[in-house]
Amino acid sequence: MPEAREERKVPGPPGTPEVRVLIYRPTPQPQPFPAILYIHGGGMIGGAAEMMDAASVQLAQGHGALVVAVDYRLAPETPFPGPVEDCYAALDWLFRNADSLGVDPSHIAIMGHSAGGGLAAATALLARDRGVYLLSGQILIYPMLDSRTGTPEALADNPLTGEFVWTREFNRFGWKALRGTEPLPPERLGHFSPAQASDVSRLPPAFIAVGALDLFLEEDVAYALRLARSGVPVDLHVYEGGIHGFDLFPGALATRFEADLRAALGRVLQGAPGNTAPQG
């Protein structure tokens, strides 16, 4: 266990277990510092907060930020809305305890890879809809956004994508597990599948990164366009030849991505708060 890591249990959604989080503190520096709510990937059905140990330490030390990694409950044992509500509960705890944690509440961003990126986008939508907290940015790394991808209802079916790592079959399985059997109210569709949200305005500035060979290419680019058309600042990066998880393989693509990510984090953690206004 990294020395900088602390494990806590924070209040979960009403009537559910506590949510386990891992906290990574930056090198001692003047407070308050920015914070990142970090959500791991795993197709909605696997993974754990510990997966991102090295990345969380690097974020904390490299950006002087407090990082809170969420160990949300997984499908199919916990279908929607359990995972996104766990992430929102962790966000709620982070904002409520910002002062005692030494965090600047005007510079709290949300971040995730793959399924974690989809949950980050969903949590940003949920935060906007509940109108309590203002996020400074959303960092979405090849996010899993659209439950239609890989089905006949897909917005597009690019034959060049989805052949490596995360396939159409895996995608259908992950979304089916998350969906469960309970009715899905129309007003919650975007919290389940962010690409299907009816309104994506008044969201925090977004950084979206995806490989050109990733199954999520079409849905991620489409979501970026919707955000931009709704007046949300978007920084979209498509990496030529990149498969799902391309940043995990050392090389030129990963190096370029790391530089782009570093710049984006600098903006959302140190710049002016995002363009979202809390709702009444």
The answer to whether residue 214 is catalytic is: yes
Closest C-alpha to 119, from 99, 142, 143: 143
Catalytic pick from 107, 136, 244, 247? 244
Cβ neighbour number for residue 252 with a 10 Å cutoff: 9
Active site residue 244: yes
Which of 92, 107, 113, 114 is the catalytic position?
114
Q: How far apart are CA 248 and CA 127, in angstroms?
A: 30
Quote the CA–CA distance of 262 and 213 in Å, as a whole number.
23
136 is catalytic: no
Cis peptide before 76 (omega within 30 of 0): yes
The Cα–Cα gap between 131 and 147 comes to 25
Q: Are 121 and 146 in contact (CB under 8 A)?
A: no
CA-nearest of 30, 36, 35 to 104 is 35
Could you give the strand order of the β-sheet that contains 234-239, starting from the edge strand earlier in sequence?
Answer: 5-10, 19-24, 66-71, 33-39, 103-113, 137-141, 206-211, 234-239
State how far the Cα of 120 lies from the Cα of 115, in Å rounded to an integer: 8
Q: Give the amino acid at 254.
A: A
Does residue 16 contact residue 31 with C-beta atoms inside 8 Å?
A: no
- The catalytic residue positions are 114, 214, 244
